[in-house]
Amino acid sequence: MGQQRRTFTKEFKLEALRMLDEAKKTRRQVADDLGIAIKTLDRWRSESRANPTEAFRGHGNRTAEQEQLRQLQREVESLKREREILKKTLVIFTQP
């Protein structure tokens, strides 16, 4: 049997980073206190610094840009279908 992958909430990750920033402890001590690896803590810190508003979205949650792109793609498909219907309607009404 393999180990099951642990998951952490956004709140847990933010609290871990707050502890890291405010504590007088080393990274190793904070990681040990939380029961996580230093690499995990470092990855969370770099993800948070790279894009603070989009950090820790979770799996399957899109960024604002990804969501906007998805909506625009759906709108394009809808407009294409409407255009095809209008073309067919025009052919029907222009026949003698």
pTM for the predicted model, two decimal places: 0.54
Mean pLDDT, the chain, integer: 85
What per-residue confidence (pLDDT) applies to 66?
Answer: 78
Q: Where are the domains of the chain?
A: 10-61, 72-96
Inter-residue contact 18 to 30 (CB < 8 Å) = no
The residues near 58 (Cβ < 8 Å, ≥ 6 apart) are 10
pLDDT digits (tens, 9 = 90+) for 39-55: 999 988 888 887 777 67
